[in-house]
Amino acid sequence: MKFPVPHDVKAKTIPGTEGWERMYPYQYQFVTDDAVRNQYEKETFWFYDGLHYPEPLYPFDTIWDEAWYLALSQFNNRIFMVPPVRGVDHRIINGYVYISPVPVKNPEEIGSRVPHFMERAGHYYKNWDALEAKWKVKMEATIRELEAIQIPKLADMEDISVVLDAVGESKGYHLLKNYDDLINLGIKCWQYHFEFLNLGYAAYVFFLDFVQKQFPSIPAQRVTQMISGIDVIMYRPDEELKGLARKAIELGVEALVTSSPEWTVVEAALKASPKGVQWLTSLNLSREPWFNVSTGTGWFHHDRSWNDQMNVPLSGIATYIGKLKQGVNIERPTAKVCAERDRITAEYRGLIENEADRKQFDELLGCAKTVFPYVENHLFYVEHWFHSVFWNKMREVGALMQEHGVIKDAEDVWLLRRDEIKSALWDIVTAWATGVTPRGTHTWPSEIAWRKGVMQKFKEWSAPPAIGIAPEVIQEPFTIVLWGVTNKSLADWASVQEVSDPDTITEIKGFAGSPGIVEGKARVCKTVAEVGQLQEGEILVAPTTSPSWAPAFAKIRACVTDVGGVMSHAAIVCREYGMPAVVGTGHSTKVIRSGMMIRVDGSTGAVTIAR
Amino acid sequence: MPLVCWLEDCRKESVPLVGGKCASLGELIHAGVRVPPGFALTTEGFRHFMTESGVASAVSDLLRGVDCSDLEALEGISAQVRSLIESQAFSVEIEDQVAECYRKLSLRCCMPAAPVAVRSSATAEDLPGASFAGQQDTYLWVRGVDEVLHHMRRCISSLYTARAIAYRANKGFSDEQLAISVGVQKMANSYTAGVMFTLHPGNGDRSVIVIDANFGFGESVVSGEVTPDHFVVNKITLDIIDRTISQKLICYTVDTKTQTSHVMDVPFERQKVQSLIDDEITELAWMGKQIEKHYGCPMDIEWAIDKDIPTGGNIFILQARPETVWSKKPQGQGSAAVGSAMDYILSGMLAGRRVS
């Protein structure tokens, strides 16, 4: 299957964005001045990573793409020696990330990698639980280190202790060093992120593969259901809100907690009462670490955490207080969920006809169940907890740069690459030491203003789902399971080259996330801050959901997302609540508007709009 | 032993009493499956009819010394026997019981005189007289008790077609062993009907139930004259995982004058309407699952939704037999040796996934 040539796509530069390439690392460019590289790029299949990047990347946010470019690839190719695949290559066009799995082409080389893979991956699979316990220790230590990082202010005169303690270093040097430390911790955190993830996904993919051979029509959501954990960390932030709702009623402060949607107002009211103070103590225990949960995927600087936006968890607590007051049970039906999971697993197993296949099923199921908690839990540690703290440290860097006049607004920091920030900090530090004005005060503000315009134009551009030439076989597990690259999806991508008028679309296809059919009024919430508008019984339409959206699910009857697969948060939570979900629809939030009547069929993955 | 009994009182062990067809319908009812209501003249009723009226001895007199190689003579004898049987009244006892059952049946169907199918039900597969009769022993759209009684006699007389007589003589079966039951069952006046497989006929997947449906009688689906609506239901969770609504040009309904089904055009505005509602699909699939569980193998099932009976109790199973195509094939990769999860992952990675 052939798709547009990458270089042709790139050559149609959006007017006014000429020179945008400098916003991203140079190795991310499709090139025409290097014949060998150009040929490789043309013959390769690239697909747009819409799963992670629904919007164009800000220059700074590219850090996580670079981090996983390195980490995923090295674990596949240099550490575990996955026989038929190397890493996943990356490019950027107009701020959108395109990726491509790189195969090992020589059969002899594949063969020579096999024993190493068996030894190395085998070690992890065999010792999974023990190694995962070590991982948690490493990860928590990394987060503690991150929390301890200081972004020092540059004083006109250094503190006297620098002299008395004979420190021999200035705050200027510390700023440069601590910024490097901050970035390095981020890269390290992503090293850990992929330590288990490739193998975890491989176990899942091949359990899925086996079950689909036995049952060609089995929906992927049922396979996920068989291996999903019940006590995963993902549910914990929501459980904390429920606990706080109960506590508020127990202490008799529920009226204060629900007195205003504004956290500052509520907090002041609570501080004035002894019982209120008691409740605030419980709240503070919950906040670390559980309120570090991001209100988005955590991948972008604009994904703020509950701690950053206390109105969000407050509205969740208020929802639960309301439910409790009505006598509604807000406990998760864990016993029921477990029983259903066990019933489904046993019934499928019972339908396998021969003993050998049943044994293979047990083997693969056991392996998948061992690895799956990691696949679900790592998100909280990395994308939520670490990232939420990290973004705020970067905001301190932004504030310092603003203070020194290099950028006009602290939030402008995201428009610079991380290495440009390092250069700007050098500029600031040397100017500070010398007592002159940083050169960047003149150059960066205009560049940033231009980049803002470019980002806006990028947002309006519609990224083709695939470019280059599709391969015959894909062996990279992530490509198959995460991005859903299959024969069918490629055909779909090939057919939807041009986007039709959103006002005429009556059906949107996505993945069947959670079964059932519901008709109702849509409520489009682009961010979690908007879930307050949700009315009881509406259908939530969101770009994606994360644990911080959990309280919204207590109100809705179905859910539709733009991004995500059958393992996404929305799909898993909807299955627990027994309500339909269609996930990964691509553009529901653009096509559907609040108030429209829609029909969500979570069994077939179709959303129908009544026009 | 009863002369007449309700289908729901039959089990699969009831073959000697009510024959294979009725016993299997009784078994389905016993499995929790709804089949069109009905009753049967038992083999005891059959014997009672044959002996009490003296038909039995008259028939053996006629058949004595018949030359089975002389087909023309045999046809003549057969015609005499059959007209003898068909003109003989049932005893008052049987007539009363049949009339009472028919009255109750009509009442159950909320109709003054329920249309029924009258068909013979043979007591043993190796008794070919009955299976030979299978060609002409089903009478559809029969209404009124006199008509019912008349067609019951026609079913009995079908034991004495020329071919059946000759076959029994050649095989050395004595007519004294002959026993037949006659089933009387409400005609499913179907609004929508079709077939259901408790596995995927396309790929043998046993975790799904596949339903094909069209308006009217199931004939249009069975014969392949229309592209039916197609539903794939998850057998384990009973949710519909795939649906195709086709344009259905024709369907079969009853011509009450000729008492046969006839083809008619589906009105244009209904051609693309889903012929089953989702609740019906789920209930059907649930029934399919029960039937499969009861019989212990994938099944091929005919079903109908009866428009004479109020919703909630109007989905009926007409027939259920073991599926034969996929059930014979070995499933999955049974021959491959079982490896550890690691081995499987490795071999899977090496194979990759074809995408184009």
B132 and B216 part of one domain: no
Instruction: Kindly give the pairing relationship between strand A539-542 and strand A558-561.
Output: parallel
B181 and B49 part of one domain: yes
In a domain, B356, yes or no: no
- The helix (run of H) or strand (run of E) holding residue B250 is strand B250-255
Q: Among the three residues B120, B155, B186, which one is the final residue of a domain in this structure? A: B186
Kindly report the pTM of this predicted structure.
Answer: 0.81
B173 and B127 part of one domain: yes
B155 and B211 part of one domain: no
C-alpha dihedral (B333, B338, B341, B347), degrees to nearest 10: -60
In a domain, B339, yes or no: no
How far is the C-alpha of A340 from the C-alpha of B180, rounded, in Å?
Answer: 48
B221 and B308 part of one domain: yes
B91 and B36 part of one domain: yes
Choose among B332, B338, B349: nearest Cβ to A214. B332
Question: Mean pLDDT in chain B?
Answer: 86
- What percent of chain B is modeled with pLDDT above 90? 46
**Alpha carbon separation from A507 to A517, A592, A599, B353 (Å, rounded):** 14, 10, 9, 29
B176 and B217 part of one domain: no
Interface membership of A3 toward B (CB under 8 Å): no
Of A241 and B320, more confident: A241
Per-residue pLDDT, B237: 93
B52 and B199 part of one domain: no
Per-residue pLDDT, B313: 84
Sorted by where each starts, the structural domains of chain A and their CATH numbers stand as: 6-119+463-493 (no CATH), 194-400 (no CATH), 501-609 (3.50.30.10)
Count of A–B CB contacts within 8 Å?
151
Instruction: Kindly give the pairing relationship between strand A96-103 and strand A45-48.
Output: antiparallel
A470, with CB counted inside 10 A (0-12, 13-18, 19+), is: buried
The top-scoring range by mean pLDDT among A378-387, A471-480, B29-38, B257-266 is A378-387
In a domain, B349, yes or no: no
Interface of B with A in 241-270 (CB under 8 A): 241-243
Instruction: Kindly give the pairing relationship between strand A517-524 and strand A539-542.
Output: parallel
Distance of CA B307 to the CA centre of its chain: 19
B110 and B147 part of one domain: yes
Residues 6 or more apart whose Cβ sits within 8 Å of residue A501 = none
**Alpha carbon separation from A406 to A23, A420, A449, B42 (Å, rounded):** 17, 12, 12, 101
Interface membership of B339 toward A (CB under 8 Å): yes
Choose among A83, A118, A471: nearest Cβ to B342. A118
B175 and B323 part of one domain: no
Residue A392 φ then ψ, to 5°: -70, -35
B115 and B170 part of one domain: yes
Number of domains making up chain B: 2
How far off is chain A from B337, nearest CA to CA, in Å? Answer: 7
In a domain, B180, yes or no: yes
Contact A353 B338 (CB under 8 A): no
Residue of A nearest to B203 (CA): A216
Task: Check whether the bond before A107 is cis (ω within 30° of 0).
Answer: no
In a domain, B318, yes or no: yes
How far is the C-alpha of A378 from the C-alpha of A197, rounded, in Å?
Answer: 8
Q: What is the DSSP letter of A195?
A: H
Per-residue pLDDT, A508: 86
Q: Among the three residues B123, B156, B186, which one is the final residue of a domain in this structure? A: B186
Which residue positions in chain A have pLDDT lower than 50? 496-499
In a domain, B158, yes or no: yes
Interface membership of A347 toward B (CB under 8 Å): yes
Q: Do residues B128 and B113 lie in contact, with contact meaning Cβ atoms separated by under 8 Å? A: no
ipTM of this predicted structure: 0.79
Question: Confidence band (pLDDT; 50, 70, 90) for B134?
Answer: very low
CATH number of the domain within which B266 lies: 3.30.470.20
CATH number of the domain within which B92 lies: 3.30.1490.20
pLDDT above 60: residue B131: no
Residue of B nearest to A121 (CA): B342
Task: Check whether the bond before A289 is cis (ω within 30° of 0).
Answer: yes
B158 and B173 part of one domain: yes
In a domain, B151, yes or no: yes
Task: Report angle CA B91, B93, B96 to the nearest 5 degrees.
Answer: 105
Q: Among the three residues B186, B212, B242, which one is the final residue of a domain in this structure? A: B186
How far is the C-alpha of A154 from the C-alpha of A158, rounded, in Å?
Answer: 8
How far is the C-alpha of B223 from the C-alpha of A498, rounded, in Å?
Answer: 42
Domain that includes residue B309, residue range: 190-328
How far is the C-alpha of A392 from the C-alpha of A64, rounded, in Å?
Answer: 15
Q: Which residues of A touch B203 (CB under 8 A)?
A: 216-217
In a domain, B350, yes or no: no
